[in-house]
Structure 1
Amino acid sequence: MTIIRTVAVAAVLLTTPAHAQGLTEQAFQQISESVFRPVIEEFDIPGIAIGVTMDGQQFFFTDGLADRAASRPVDRDTLFELGSNSKLFTVALAALAEQRGFLSLQDPVSSRMPALAGSAFDAVTLADLAAHATGGLPLQVPDAVTDMDGLMTYLNAWTPQGGAGTRRAYSNVSIGLLGLIAGEQFGTTYTDALARDLLPGLGLGSTFVDVPDAEMARYAFGYSRTDDSPIRVNPGMLDAEAYGIKSSVTDMTRFLDAHLRNLTLEGEITAALARTRRSDYDTAHYAQAMIWEGYPWPVDAAALAAGNSPDMAMSPQPMTKVDARQLEGDVYLNKTGATNGFGSYVAMVPSERIGVVVLANRNYPNPVRAEATRELIVQLLARARE
């Protein structure tokens, strides 16, 4: 069973030493280069952007090209596809809906989606959707499902492989449903609720589901792992809610600053973000919160690799219901994301007041992203303490 030490947020902020005072821009660039250059070369990553927040001070490393044909370099404003890191925004929107009294995350799914009344979703809660604790929803919407009527027909006939909370099944379907429901509680669609009710409150002006025409010049091309062709994400059922967001390294670093309470935000927004970091389940490798995955800090490299392995994403895994606890203090929180042409990774350690985002226009292995980021954090903290 995963054991996470929890610490009150106020205590964390009061007792954490100020690391960033000992980290120079030159040292940051050198460490980032030494850690990620081998990764860039091994996986032929066209372009990469790394953002770090340490004690609220931001550092950025960018390298390579956003568009090879146009020789356009990656910079802090380049837009990358987040893939499944989009889910962090979906659960934040759902948690904000709870803060505003529009729903309870303990509501059964069918109570908020009446078309599913009488189905297995009478026993699956919105919080279960957010924790992949449905008992076996598939990773993707089946190819034969192409519209909402078809989706409701499929879900009404779906039978879980185990009770809710007993099997973790990583699923775009579960998070897609949560996003649909959350958007409806705001009286609109998920995409519009995100743009109107969440992103402005976070101060994120370069985060989009649909990149506006005026911003398309900032949108990187991804590059296929199979033939190296330039590609971008294709439309699909539940794409916006599950994997459709595009963002910049500056916005994503600010998003981590919001989670680390380095920003003064509206109270409902801060509370919603904190709710997404509450865990009710353990897996073999980490505590499962609302999308966030938490490991004890310092994190064991082998456990981190196992938790980010393909098996955890592709195959249902046992999970255990535990007493709810907030993932704060000495915990390493992380999430991976990818589309066919992009790979993203975010991580933070509240007790160290450090967060890292890595955006690339190549989909490269999740364990590689996780290990490089872990090593970056270790080296940055060590240099800052010298």
Structure 2
Amino acid sequence: MSIRAALIVGTAFFPLDELLDLPQTGLMPHAHQSLVRLGARLPFEEAASELHALLGIQVSDSLVRRQTLQAGARVLVMQTEQASAACALVGEGTEPVACRLAMSGDGAMVPLRGGCWAEVKTVVIAEVLPAHTRHQDATDKRTINHSCFSRLADATTFADLASVEITRRGIERAAAVCAVQDGAEWLQGFVDGHRFDAVRILDFAHAAEYLGRIAEQGELAGQHVPKGWLRAMLHELKHHGPERIMKHMAWWQEHRPLPAVSDAVRYFGKRLPQMQYQEFQTQGWPIGSGMVESANKRVMQARLKRAGMHWEPANVNPLLALRDALCNHRWEEVWDQQHQRQREEHHARRVQRSQRRRAQLEQVLEEQLIEILLLSARGKAKAQQTPHKGRTEGQKRWGRMTFSRKALPNRFAKM
């Protein structure tokens, strides 16, 4: 028997399918899971090729697409239902919670069919390492145990759906939480809804962009920008706070007005409490949102922004649900949940078909019974209305020579 014959079961073994708990795809469970996992990692054509190379199973890229999106859709529905339950059980969870957690949100654009673009929102949650346990290397790693959640949705819907991961990681139960992100308004609303008392930190790289624009526009306008000015400003901001920076930009705005200076003054002025980087570092909080930037690349861009890709909006979230499971190292758990959901849906469909067939059979029997009763009633009515013709019952029993009482005297008289 070939490998393909050993792994693929035909539709003729339907009772055996149910006995062995086989999926409805015709593939054995391991082959089905491998197909979906490859489809979540690679373009569908490459996934089909890899499946043939690894397991010797030859399938079409359309089958990989269909099965991957169907599995992702089940995970999506399941997590949406869990989000409703999580909103009702705020503050409760089963996993142990770290003392200090950090969360960071951001958005990245995904290409859609028709030349459109849409924003995929992502939130990352991580455990903050105490200062004495950090790795003393070039990376100066401050956070560990990252997990992410991504969806193509508006800000309100995303905040509701992210409740699953927020509750699982225990954001509401942690002793202290920081939120490192850029200054987008929807991110502030997200933090308000899940942990309003979080320490809010403006991403240092985002603040540095505004200072970089000042130096760039100053040089383009022919103004004298001292060498090393930007480096000095960033050092001052990072180690001493934004107060002297704001005074310097106010002087620059008065004597060397530039659009970038006005933008920076207006932007920083609204977010000064979020720019106290010297205090944040002393408290051990990260001041950069690199973890969510990395998540954007790993979860969404590595799969959905490859060359030439354009997606139907309905197919983005199912694939993101599978990508979250992969990047969070929770594939087996999520797969078992969606497999159980698939079995329940299959059982429900079977029950519905059985009930539908039973209803149809009962309807047919009822119609036939009514027809029989109507025919019987019509026959009795016709027998009562029509006079009797033909032979009597006695003639039928004894033949045509049956004698009646009137005929007997006449017959004896002739004799």
**Which TM-score band (shorter chain)?**
under 0.3
Structure with larger Rg: 2
Q: TM-score, normalised by structure 1?
A: 0.25
Whichever structure has more strand as a proportion of its residues is 1
Whichever structure has more helix as a proportion of its residues is 2
